[in-house]
């Protein structure tokens, strides 16, 4: 089976797993107060050049978004602005609202939030009959695999500063965002860890989709958002007893550039795949292979003939996508740190 | 001062107030278990021809919407669908989300929800990573003064049945909706209390904007939504000790057609106003008076020359509306059960 | 029927009702921003000699406690300490917990919270695995009709200051507490409005049980607790459109000492009742009339022979109390601002 | 360093870790729908002889308690009864209340809940002004290391049935409870998995403290409590992408009696320790070694001379306990699946 279904079905990169094996029989302080969490947090502070950053390790993306946003929205009527395609809007079973906070949804063509979108919300929210937007949520890469440029992030930063909003970035696939070709070759310079440490009030470095067994590293830069995080993590069920499991994993992932190397592999495999599909499409236009959405990281959305879907499904694990024409069906292909050239070639041979 | 600012700044219709005076020194059972609440509830059951309806009296619209919807959405991940202009979306300070439930916002041109809007939401919400929509919220009249026709409500009913959704109608201005000319003369027949008793799973009869000092009557028709309302009303702070204050008011309002008469007056005054404005606009096109939104009940949205706004404000209480052109400013005029022909004429004389 | 069932079943004192009649057809600003609310708030600031106090008017006690405490407990893991007999612990259907906050219950013999009770809670709550107590809730008079003395309140104040806790006082029956004989004649001086303005961080002046149709006046003295109250009141459904109804009532109640006069009447009638019962008990010890609880304000708890309960119930409205012996049943008698000497004498004649 | 500080600071039993290594590079369905979770769930259903049981795997104890209880308490005013020493009352940062539900605390001498405690709560909770208790929470072993007998659990079951309460058992240390000498030799027969499958409505099998890296297995037996668990787990941030990590661990732990063997080792080491301490106490009464609490599983609470505490702390990791006399300090010693006889002997040598 060629696996192009998602980037979170394998276990961990072997180095990460080995580190867990190596430390398994150590007795450390529980609840994330161990030396491994401390070391991993230090690595992050170094990488982003923000020695003042607060770092917390949590077990998953929804948990991190929920815990962080509910903590940052410090009064019950504070809300967060998101593109309506944002993971928190659509794929977290209402986890933010379950904490009592509204999300201000902004219609978005490509899944990105813009300063105009922020202005539209702020224009309306004028008095105590409305919620009070206090922050924005963005994902990099987005849920459809696109990336924000430096220029775009700076423009959002400006809009946030204008309106007193915090800027929170969901980095579930940050390894892929930072190592995407489009980012590395951007005319305005690449977004990197150091830039994120400047432009964001908080963000998380995703582990689950980038080589860890599980785990995300929440990084808080704005002092006014740092308080009371440990009790809030505990209260929401996110503080695991053996917190060092997270520290050990991130300490390994972030050493020797492993984290970014893993993202780069996912992107490279996706590019190979995309190039191959384009070649097939050009070679045989009758097939009608077509890209549904722009391609920038490790997710590819294409139309394939409907009759091909069950054939592919025999040999490939993938998901369909809710775009359908009379003759064609959308499918989503996702590569990961573990995808190999052989898998890509095997898939292309099937087209 | 000519008062066209809103329909909730006066006290109560004199008959309603007199009933409170007449019953003032009676000792009744507290918390809404008195004979006046029982009598008013019976009146409602008669009016809607649903002897099985459960009726509860609450003190205001936001409280009613919050208490009812949070009660009807019986698990934390259940959500309610609303036009994005719905009162619960924009003007209740996130009261629904504060109970932990998401609102699925549907973009709406005219403030109404449609079966297509419902389908769009249901299409996406497929598995446990999404919230589960379980009901719809509509207002009649809407926040911009429009009404739903029988045909429209039946179409929504059908969509709700198809998807297992309850249909909840916010009747803050129900007196105006039911007595609007457009409703009374509708080709498909008027929406009336009896029809609401058939088509809705629950709705509320608004008192605050229709002649009461305060108070709304929540009517629940669907058995599966009736349970546990009293503890939930109590828990949300909506159960007043002297519950009979609400029973006495509704018992008076709903006797002798008073409720609908009051709505009819508001509509009639608005029509006089609208007719007069149209005449002024025709007589002097250079003024550029223009209706911003369709007119069906007791709210009128028009453009007036910008320089006229401060002049009007000296003699008229009204609100501006966020529609602006280079030369004109939107204003909102609202009539009520107490608006008089003299006031309307005085306003028209100012144009 | 002699009415000794509670102090919240009548309507309003006639002067209060007349004020509502007099102002009924005025158009004022909605949502509590009118001149009557402003005037009533000014009266309160004068009475308590705290020109800096923030004042908000809400419709009932549970709503006030819920809104105030949830606002004051500014992070989700902040908790409030209360005697386990406190109204918020037992008789508000979990309204505080429904906002997400824990109440730290302290076992209490007489319904009062003590510095020792506070110490016991604070001793345990040491780290992020525990909630963080940030305030105390007390009622004056308590749910069993007892009052706090100046000395007791100062001792609680000291304990609060030591531990960084706010002190919130539920004054549902404040009129009775302040005018009770025990308070007026206390060796350490009476608790009065001015003293409350000094010793509390926040408290509410109860209207519902003290002569109003409905309504409570929340008074916030501590600057750090004042922020964001209006959106939070709105979000919890407590902001009524015709907010002036509350202002008008309190402006009347607080004029010419009416508020305290009404409390004094309730207390005086209760004392007459208690004296009469004591006389009956002395005159005929075989009846076994006995006071279950100390008596200080307008509530009397006594044991009567079981067979007498149904007889009394034919002519008197009262509640039984969950204290039972082989031969006797506890009953609760409550007087109000409207109780008359005739009623008291009629009751005593039945014993 | 002799480690007697807790039972959750090591990693996993080597077999469990090896299973994670062996399955690391498999692509399985995400979110707990993989074959390992299915297999582990089947093992549990077999062990408890309840083929109808629903099984869900979560990452930690607080998360499991919060998710399960909030799901089982299906309306906002439903509450759960617990001994006031229960983990949910004291050591989960208000996680239950954060979901909006009250815990009815029952004072408890030894940390256990009794039918009398349940009766006391139910007696008071009579109408809609009170929360509605719908379940009980107990821990086996308790937070102080005690176990419930069959007879005790059956008595609780009876009280639950009488009042329509569900019975939920927190099995964070279930391996120790089931293998404790007191349980194995109980006159009324040992509590075992099969018995739990009969007596409980739901319980969880703790992994974190019993040989897993992390993870707890929630077992739901009562049909009425099974619905909607997956969206609720997702909403509370408890559904990890690589859900098989939990399935693999439990599938290993529950094979070949490993789970109970690990519990048995912890208990055996604790018994050795307790026996040794008793011997020391008898040999040198001047030391004043004394058991503070009964000993039944893997936790020992003793008084040691105050001056000994810093000396011990140089060579032993342990926690102090808040029981202090003039001369002695309470300490807590905890053994685990990994504690060795050498460690126990080394500790005893220090006394």
> What pLDDT, in 10s, does the model give residues A128-144?
999 999 999 999 999 99
Would you state the structure tokens that stand for residue B289, as one six-digit string?
């008076």
**Mean pLDDT across D226-249:** 97
Mutation for D interface: C85, C93, C323, most D CBs within 10 A? C93
Q: Backbone phi, then psi, for B209, in 5-degree steps?
A: -95, 5
Mark which residues 82-101 of D lie under 8 Å from B by CB. Answer: 99-100
Strand pairing category for D78-83 and D132-139? parallel
A213: closest CA among D61, D59, D241? Answer: D241
| Interchain CB contact of B76 with D (< 8 Å) | yes
Q: Which of B295, B323, B298 is nearest to B309 (CA)?
A: B323
On whether any CB of chain B is under 8 Å from the CB of D224, the answer is no
Q: Write out pLDDT tens, residues C152-210.
A: 999 999 999 999 999 999 999 999 999 999 999 999 999 999 999 999 999 999 999 99
Share of chain A above pLDDT 90, in %: 98
- For residue C227, pLDDT beyond 90: yes
Tokens of A110: 């490509």
Q: Would you give the distance in Å from CA A331 to the centre of its chain?
A: 20
What six digits make up the tokens of D300?
């020992």
Torsion-angle region of C105 (φ positive above 0: left; ψ -120 to 50: alpha; else: beta): beta
Subunit contact D11:A26, Cβ cutoff 8 A: yes
- Residue A109 — very low, low, confident or very high, per pLDDT cuts 50/70/90? confident
The predicted structure's pLDDT at residue A126: 84
| B&D contacts, CB < 8 Å | 42
Residue C251 three-state SS: helix
Nearest to D250 by CA among D87, D30, D35, D8: D35
For residues C173 and C209, is the Cβ–Cβ distance under 8 A? yes
Segment A267-311, tens digit of pLDDT: 999 999 999 999 999 999 999 999 999 999 999 999 999 999 999
CA atoms in the 13 A half-sphere facing the CB of C159: 24
C21 CB neighbours in chain B (<8 A) are 17, 21
SS3 B153: helix
**Tens-place pLDDT, residues B170-226:** 999 999 999 999 999 999 999 999 999 999 999 999 999 999 999 999 999 999 999
Model pLDDT, residue B109? 86
Q: Is the pLDDT of residue D158 over 90?
A: yes
CA-based nearest residue to D230, from D71, D341, D17: D71
To probe the interface with C, which of B14, B27, B28 has the most C CB atoms within 10 Å?
A: B27
pLDDT over 90 (residue C225): yes
What mean pLDDT do residues D136-152 have? 97
Judge whether C322 is closer than 8 Å to chain D, CB to CB. Answer: yes
Are the beta carbons of B44 and B53 closer than 8 angstroms?
Answer: yes
Could you tell me the pTM of the whole model?
A: 0.97
Question: Quick one: which of D186, D173, D331 has its CA closest to D266?
Answer: D173
pLDDT at residue D322 is higher than 90? no
* Nearest-angstrom CA–CA distance, B213 and B253: 11
Task: Name the residue among D266, D16, D3 with its Cα closest to residue A20.
Answer: D16
Any B CB within 8 A of A323 CB: no
Inspect the interface and report whether the beta carbons of A128 and C76 lie closer than 8 Å.
no
Interface check A213 vs D, CB under 8 A: yes
B92 min Cα distance to partner chain A (Å): 5
Q: A226 and chain C: CB distance < 8 Å anywhere?
A: no
Q: Is the CB of residue C127 less than 8 Å away from at least one CB of chain D? A: no
Backbone angles phi, psi at D296, to 5 degrees: -135, -20
Per-residue pLDDT, averaged over D40-49, amounts to 98
Residues found in chain C: 351
Average pLDDT in the B310-339 region?
Answer: 96
Contact call for C74 and A75, based on CB within 8 A: yes
More confident residue, C328 or A322: C328
Provide, as residue numbers in chain B, all residues whose Cβ is less than 8 Å from the Cβ of D33: none
Q: Which residues does chain C have within 8 Å of residue D70's beta carbon, measured at their own beta carbons?
A: none
Pairing of strands A328-334, A319-324: antiparallel
| Phi, psi angle pair for C320, to nearest 5° | -80, 165
Q: What is the pLDDT of residues D259-313, one digit of tens each?
A: 999 999 999 999 999 999 999 999 999 999 999 999 999 999 999 999 999 999 9
Q: What per-residue confidence (pLDDT) applies to C121?
A: 97
**Distance, CA of D351 to CA of D288 (rounded, Å):** 11
* CA Rg value for chain B: 21
CA A76, CA A68: separation in Å to the nearest integer? 14
Nearest to B55 by CA among B27, B137, B141, B47: B47
In angstroms, the CA C291 to CA C333 distance is 11
Chains that touch B (3 or more CB pairs under 8 A): A, C, D
Rounded CA gap, C213 and B78, in Å? Answer: 37
> Do the Cβ atoms of C100 and D98 come within 8 Å?
yes
Chains that touch D (3 or more CB pairs under 8 A): A, B, C
Q: Give the integer Cα–Cα distance in Å for C215 and B59.
A: 12
User: What pLDDT shows up at residue B137?
Assistant: 98
| B290 interface with A at CB cutoff 8 Å | no
Across chain C, mean pLDDT equals 97
Q: Which of D6, D66, D89, D97 to mutate to test the interface with C (most CBs of C within 10 A)?
A: D97
Note whether B132 contacts D: Cβ–Cβ < 8 A: yes
Nearest-by-CA chain C residue for A72: C75
Of C204, C201, C162, C174, the residue nearest C73 (C-alpha): C201
| B134 inside 8 A of chain A by CB | no
User: Does residue B221 contact residue B50 with C-beta atoms inside 8 Å?
Assistant: yes
Q: How many other CB atoms are found less than 10 A from the CB of residue A8?
A: 23
Contact present, B60 and B92 (Cβ < 8 Å): no
Given pLDDT bands bounded at 50, 70 and 90, which one contains residue C109? confident
DSSP one-letter string for C74-99: -STTEEEEEETTSHHHHSSTTHHHHT
- Residue B83, classified by CB atoms within 10 Å of its CB into exposed (0-12), middle (13-18) or buried (19+), is buried
For residue D126, what pLDDT is reported?
Answer: 84
User: What is the arithmetic mean of pLDDT over C289-297?
Assistant: 95
Q: Percent of chain A scored above 70 by pLDDT?
A: 100
Q: Name which of C15, C22, C51, C67 is nearest C240 in CA terms.
A: C67
**Res. B322: pLDDT tops 90:** no
> Chains with 3 or more CB pairs closer than 8 angstroms to C?
A, B, D
Amino acid A322: pLDDT: 87
Does the distance separating the beta carbons of B102 and A100 come in below 8 Å? Answer: no
Q: B87-113 pLDDT, tens per residue? A: 999 999 999 999 999 999 999 989 999
Q: What is the pLDDT of residue B270?
A: 98
Residue of chain A whose Cα is closest to the Cα of C233: A128
Is residue D261 within 8 A of residue D297, CB to CB? The reply is no
Residue of chain D minimizing CA distance to B98:
D100
- Going by their DSSP bridges, the two strands A216-220 and A54-58 should be labelled as antiparallel
What are the tens digits of pLDDT across the range D51-94?
A: 999 999 999 999 999 999 999 999 999 999 999 999 999 999 99
Least CB-CB distance to D91: which of C93, C103, C130? C130
Residue whose C-alpha is closest to residue C340's, from B34, B25, B28, B21 = B25
Cβ atoms C136, C92 nearer than 8 A: no
Helix (H, G, I), strand (E, B) or coil at B317: strand
User: Hey, which residues 4-43 in chain A have their CB within 8 Å of chain D?
Assistant: 5-6, 8-12, 14, 17, 20-21, 23-30
How many other CB atoms are found less than 10 A from the CB of residue B314?
8
Interior/surface letters B298-308, b for 16+ CB within 10 angstroms, e for the rest: bbbbbbbeeeb
Q: In 3D, which of C43, C54, C103 has the Cα closest to residue C229?
A: C54
Question: What residues contact residue D342 under an 8 Å CB cut-off, 6+ apart?
Answer: none
Chain pair A-C, CB pairs under 8 angstroms: 42
For B239, the closest chain D residue by CA position comes to D129
Residues in chain D closer than 8 A to B77 (CB atoms): 228, 231-232, 234-235
Cβ pairs B/C, distance under 8 A: 153
Residue burial D54-85, b: 16+ Cβ < 10 Å; e: rest: bbbbbbbbbbbbbbbbbbbbbbbbbbbbbbbb
| A134 neighbors A78 (Cβ within 8 angstroms) | yes
**pLDDT in the model for residue C126:** 84
Residue D76 to residue C91, Cβ atoms within 8 A: no
Containing D97, the helix (H) or strand (E) segment is helix D95-98
> Is it the case that residue B24 has pLDDT exceeding 90?
yes
pLDDT at C337 over 90: yes
Structure confidence by residue, pLDDT tens digits, D218-235: 999 999 999 999 999 999
CA distance B292 to B332: 10
| D275: its two tokens | 């026996």
Mean pLDDT, chain D, whole residue set: 97
Question: Chain-wide mean pLDDT for chain B?
Answer: 97
Average confidence (pLDDT) over A202-219: 98
Contact D117, C113 (CB under 8 A): no
Comparing CB atoms, the residue among D11, D20, D242 nearest residue A8 is D242
User: CB-based burial of residue D188 (10 Å sphere; 0-12 exposed, 13-18 middle, 19+ buried)?
Assistant: exposed
For the segment C310-325, the average pLDDT, to the nearest whole number, is: 94
Distance, in Å, from the CA atom of B274 to the CA atom of B295, rounded to the nearest integer, reads 8
């Amino acid at each position: 089976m060629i696996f192009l279904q998602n980037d979170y079905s394998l276990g961990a990169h072997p180095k990460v797993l080995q580190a867990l094996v190596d430390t398994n029989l150590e007795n450390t302080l529980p609840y994330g107060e161990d030396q491994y969490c401390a070391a991993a947090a230090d690595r992050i502070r170094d990488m982003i050049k923000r020695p003042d950053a607060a770092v917390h390790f949590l077990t998953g993306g929804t948990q991190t978004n929920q815990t962080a946003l509910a903590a940052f929205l410090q009064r019950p009527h504070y809300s967060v602005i998101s593109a309506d395609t944002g993971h928190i809007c659509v794929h977290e079973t209402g986890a933010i609202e379950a904490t009592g906070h509204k999300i201000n949804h902004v219609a978005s063509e490509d899944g990105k939030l813009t300063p105009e979108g922020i202005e539209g919300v702020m224009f309306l929210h004028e008095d105590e009959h409305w919620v009070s937007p206090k922050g924005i949520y963005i994902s990099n890469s987005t849920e459809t695999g696109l990336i924000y440029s430096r220029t775009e992030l700076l423009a959002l930063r400006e809009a946030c500063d204008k309106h007193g909003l915090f800027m929170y970035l969901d980095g579930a696939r940050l390894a892929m965002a930072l190592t995407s070709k489009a980012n590395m070759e951007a005319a305005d310079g690449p977004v990197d860890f150091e830039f994120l440490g400047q432009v964001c009030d908080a963000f998380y470095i995703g582990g689950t989709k980038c080589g860890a067994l599980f785990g995300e590293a929440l990084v808080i830069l704005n002092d006014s958002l740092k308080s009371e995080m440990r009790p809030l993590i505990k209260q929401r069920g996110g503080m695991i007893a053996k917190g060092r499991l997270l520290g050990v994993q991130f300490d390994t992932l972030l050493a020797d550039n492993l984290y970014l190397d893993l993202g780069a592999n996912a992107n490279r495999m996706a590019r190979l795949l995309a190039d191959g599909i384009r070649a097939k499409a050009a070679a045989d236009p009758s097939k009608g292979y077509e890209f549904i959405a722009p391609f920038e990281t490790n997710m590819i959305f294409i139309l394939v003939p409907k009759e091909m879907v069950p054939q592919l499904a025999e040999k490939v694990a993938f998901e369909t996508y809710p775009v359908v024409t009379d003759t064609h069906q959308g499918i989503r292909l996702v590569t990961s740190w573990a995808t190999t050239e052989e898998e890509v070639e095997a898939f292309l041979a099937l087209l």
